[in-house]
Structure 1
Amino acid sequence: MTIHVALGARSYPIHIERGLLGRAADHLVPLARGRTMAIVTDENVRPHLDTLQAALTAAGVASEAIVLAPGEATKSWGQLETLTDRLLDLGVERNDHVVALGGGVIGDLVGFACAILKRGCNFVQVPTTLLAQVDSSVGGKTAINAAAGKNLIGAFHQPAMVLIDPDTLDTLPPREARAGYAEIVKYGLIDDPEFFAWCEANGAALLAGDADARIHAITHSVTAKARIVGEDEHETRGRRALLNLGHTFGHALEAETGYSSRLLHGEAVAAGMALAFAFSAEQGLCAVEDAARVAAHLRDAGLPGGLAAAGVDADGETLVAHMLHDKKMDAGTLPFLLARGIGQTYLDRSVDLGAVAAFLNAARG
């Protein structure tokens, strides 16, 4: 299937197909322009790198690989400098296309490097993790982390194309698959209760490797995100902000755990979504049964449904302090994604942070 992100002159296709990595040259050869393509990846993705480079070589396209260390720590100033220097050494031009092969970390870092290299060059997303395939590879959000918080230094820079091969998930560790699944569940919780019910019925099969379930979830998620991005590319009208469900709580949990493997991004988002629904229920916004249903499904999927399961024991005041560095702060207020029910997420700009801290202290206890 091919899905289009409709952004006028910045529109681009998202191709979803099993075995696509081995046939990626069909899409990349026209972009290569007879030049050497730079491929940026990490150590964990070497088998997929071999497949991609073999496909390009067979099509007569030379490539150079830049292999970085895996993990969230790679989204840093130091690695950004290393990457841009390497791309300049390779002679990358503004009209060249750099390939980002890997998960969300590689996609975010490469996208930001391409946004600033020579005032902007092109890149192609080839996501190899479930989280990247259903979320971070689409939409043009690129960034690195700072000491103050996650994704605070970045730019909107759309890819020229996204190539999604669900078969790359065969080598994905189960924990990474579960982390990506959290972002799939998110689309049901935002505005699609029928899809959340589908997740409840089919999530276990998807995580067990069922190919049909994977493709349905990926296609449904990407279609939803492409529609929202097309409506609100730069998150100025509030519609795209709905995609941040669970992220305000989740980023605070990631900050508290040092952006480390203690808590993966998708795990933090899962805990954050459970907390957002629990807080909504406490505030009388949604039924307690809805919040319990969300937490139960996340737990059934092997994801954390709260603070303790996320391995976080910080008090509410500490976690709220992390939230104050959120890039969505506006005139001293922090918008929260809350819910009136499953599939009824909305943006609330009037949340009392003292109430959030008290809620988190109670949840901790």
Structure 2
Amino acid sequence: MLELTVNLDERSYPIFIGKSVLQDKGRLIHHIGDSRPVIISNETVAPLYLQGLLDSLSDLNPLSFIIPDGEQYKSLTWFEKISAFLLENNCGRDTCLIALGGGVIGDLTGFVAACYQRGVPFIQIPTTLLSQVDSSVGGKTAVNHPLGKNMIGAFYQPQAVFIDTLSLHTLPEREFAAGMAEVIKYGLIYDTELFSYLEKNIKELQSLSEDALQHIIFRCCEIKALIVAQDEKEHGLRALLNLGHTFAHAIEAQMGYGVWLHGEAVATGMVLASELAHRRNDLSRTQVQRITQLIADYSLPTTIPSNMTSEHFLMHMRKDKKNKKGTIRFILPTQFGRCELVDDVSDEQVRELIAQ
């Protein structure tokens, strides 16, 4: 098992990564403490892992709440339903919420934890690659709104993160590929060695080699922990983690949440960001082709939806959380392992990019 720490002074917490981490009953109970656990999961993950977790925590009298599976359920409606369940069961501030699932479950559970009785502890148990390498770490919690993704939320850190690589063996191939988009992102923004590793180990990763999985998960979590420790609430450096996301959130909002997986939208967003960087003379054509090829090698889309226009993109991007004073700001790669936040891209440049 591998372990690292997100250093945030008194709110620091550990991340545990490895095979059969969920079977470590003692470690899990230690981080729950004296709290009563309430496990939040979905209809896909619960049949696979919920009963085992309930059995491990039986001495703590755990409860569970199951929601449907899908991005569309990361909403205020389901935030209210979970909150009502907690109230109906007389859950107090000594309740610990446990997010058992992917990014939707983690974001939704974390937001409930941040708000319920003004804050209760929670633990992340991510079961998708995307949530293991990205969304479970760093304390971003949120729900979606029809007018924008993750527009209602809070920064709220978990007590601990338990990443069991065995859960990836039950993950559909499309979901695994979506997670690889975020892994590629970390290579682009921070670590050229990781990017090269992804190019050289496609077969190992797609065959779920334990060594390869632990390597990329640990490195992505390590990078994110370093960035979050310096910029917890995204005032500067942390914004670089949004490479590709400005375009991606527009795709998700326009197509309808869940039609494109988040990682699929991020993959196409990174291609668009790389092409835009090339047009600004920051990346060579060869570099853009290398990025696009790696994304394609992991069975991810590299082109925008056929029914989206530049005006669709601009409409949604004007609501992006990184914007300031009405100006759309983009994260663009300037070289492998380095990105920057720019605010001088015109609407016309976006139109030309999308059209071509």
TM-score range, shorter chain: over 0.9
Counterpart residue type for residue 24 of structure 2: R
The answer to whether residue 318 in structure 2 is matched with residue 318 in structure 1 is: no
Which of 234, 244, 252 pairs up with 2:242?
244
1:115-147 CA-partner distances (Å, limit 9, x unpaired): 111111110001011000000000000000011
Q: Distance in 1 between matches of 2:301 and 2:209?
A: 23
Q: Distance in 2 between matches of 1:10 and 1:67?
A: 28
Q: Distance in 2 between matches of 1:70 and 1:45?
A: 9
The answer to whether residue 354 in structure 2 is matched with residue 360 in structure 1 is: yes
Q: CA deviation at 1:281?
A: 0.8
Which of 255, 271, 274 pairs up with 1:274?
271
Q: CA deviation at 1:202?
A: 1.0
Are the aligned partners of 2:183 and 2:216 in contact in 1 as well (CA < 8 Å)?
Answer: yes
Are the aligned partners of 2:202 and 2:297 in contact in 1 as well (CA < 8 Å)?
Answer: no
Counterpart residue type for residue 184 of structure 1: V
SS of structure 2 residue aligned to 1:334:
coil
Are the aligned partners of 1:149 and 1:325 in contact in 2 as well (CA < 8 Å)?
Answer: yes
Counterpart residue type for residue 38 of structure 1: V
SS of structure 2 residue aligned to 1:51:
helix
Q: CA deviation at 1:32?
A: 4.2
Counterpart residue type for residue 282 of structure 1: R
Q: Distance in 2 between matches of 1:22 and 1:85?
A: 30
Q: Distance in 1 between matches of 2:311 and 2:115?
A: 36
1:168-214 CA-partner distances (Å, limit 9, x unpaired): 11100010000001111111000211110101111332122111110
Are the aligned partners of 2:243 and 2:270 in contact in 1 as well (CA < 8 Å)?
Answer: yes
The answer to whether residue 8 in structure 2 is matched with residue 14 in structure 1 is: no
Are the aligned partners of 2:31 and 2:159 in contact in 1 as well (CA < 8 Å)?
Answer: no
Q: Distance in 1 between matches of 2:41 and 2:76?
A: 17
TM-score, normalization by structure 1: 0.94
SS of structure 2 residue aligned to 1:340:
strand
The verdict on how the C-alpha distance between 1:30 and 1:284 changes in structure 2, with shifts beyond 3 A counting, is closer
Query: Aligned residues, how many?
Result: 354
Are the aligned partners of 1:280 and 1:338 in contact in 2 as well (CA < 8 Å)?
Answer: yes
Partner of 1:54: 55
Counterpart residue type for residue 292 of structure 1: Q
* Structure 1 residues not aligned, in runs of 5+: none
SS of structure 2 residue aligned to 1:339:
strand
Q: CA deviation at 1:239?
A: 0.7
Are the aligned partners of 1:29 and 1:61 in contact in 2 as well (CA < 8 Å)?
Answer: no
SS of structure 2 residue aligned to 1:196:
helix
Q: CA deviation at 1:314?
A: 1.3
Counterpart residue type for residue 6 of structure 2: V
Counterpart residue type for residue 254 of structure 2: E
Counterpart residue type for residue 99 of structure 1: I
The verdict on how the C-alpha distance between 1:249 and 1:24 changes in structure 2, with shifts beyond 3 A counting, is farther
Counterpart residue type for residue 115 of structure 1: A
Counterpart residue type for residue 337 of structure 1: I
1:243-266 CA-partner distances (Å, limit 9, x unpaired): 000100111111121112x31000
Q: CA deviation at 1:53?
A: 1.2
- Kindly report which structure 2 residues correspond to 1:253-292, keeping only aligned pairs within 5 A, or say none: 253-260=251-258, 262-292=259-289
Are the aligned partners of 2:36 and 2:96 in contact in 1 as well (CA < 8 Å)?
Answer: no
Deviating above 6 A after TM superposition, structure 1's stretches of 4 or more consecutive aligned residues are: none
Moved more, 13-22 or 225-234: 13-22
Question: What is the root-mean-square deviation of aligned Cα atoms in Å?
Answer: 1.3
Q: Distance in 2 between matches of 1:108 and 1:131?
A: 12
Q: Distance in 2 between matches of 1:341 and 1:312?
A: 29
The answer to whether residue 174 in structure 2 is matched with residue 175 in structure 1 is: yes
Q: Distance in 2 between matches of 1:343 and 1:334?
A: 23
The verdict on how the C-alpha distance between 1:343 and 1:269 changes in structure 2, with shifts beyond 3 A counting, is same
Partner of 1:232: 231
Are the aligned partners of 1:189 and 1:342 in contact in 2 as well (CA < 8 Å)?
Answer: yes
Counterpart residue type for residue 316 of structure 2: H
Q: Distance in 2 between matches of 1:219 and 1:360?
A: 35
Are the aligned partners of 2:130 and 2:176 in contact in 1 as well (CA < 8 Å)?
Answer: yes
Partner of 1:304: 301
Q: Distance in 2 between matches of 1:203 and 1:50?
A: 34
Q: Distance in 1 between matches of 2:95 and 2:3?
A: 23
Moved more, 321-330 or 175-184: 321-330
Partner of 2:3: 2
Q: Distance in 1 between matches of 2:22 and 2:164?
A: 6
Partner of 2:126: 127
Counterpart residue type for residue 252 of structure 2: E
Q: CA deviation at 1:17?
A: 2.1
Q: Distance in 1 between matches of 2:277 and 2:124?
A: 36
Counterpart residue type for residue 149 of structure 2: K
Q: Distance in 1 between matches of 2:351 and 2:94?
A: 49
Are the aligned partners of 1:257 and 1:312 in contact in 2 as well (CA < 8 Å)?
Answer: no
Q: CA deviation at 1:31?
A: 2.2
Are the aligned partners of 2:273 and 2:332 in contact in 1 as well (CA < 8 Å)?
Answer: yes
Q: Distance in 2 between matches of 1:188 and 1:230?
A: 19
SS of structure 2 residue aligned to 1:44:
coil
Are the aligned partners of 1:204 and 1:301 in contact in 2 as well (CA < 8 Å)?
Answer: no
Which of 322, 329, 337 pairs up with 1:335?
329
Q: Distance in 2 between matches of 1:286 and 1:112?
A: 38
Identity of aligned residues (%): 42
Are the aligned partners of 1:115 and 1:157 in contact in 2 as well (CA < 8 Å)?
Answer: yes
Partner of 1:37: 37
Q: Distance in 1 between matches of 2:347 and 2:274?
A: 16
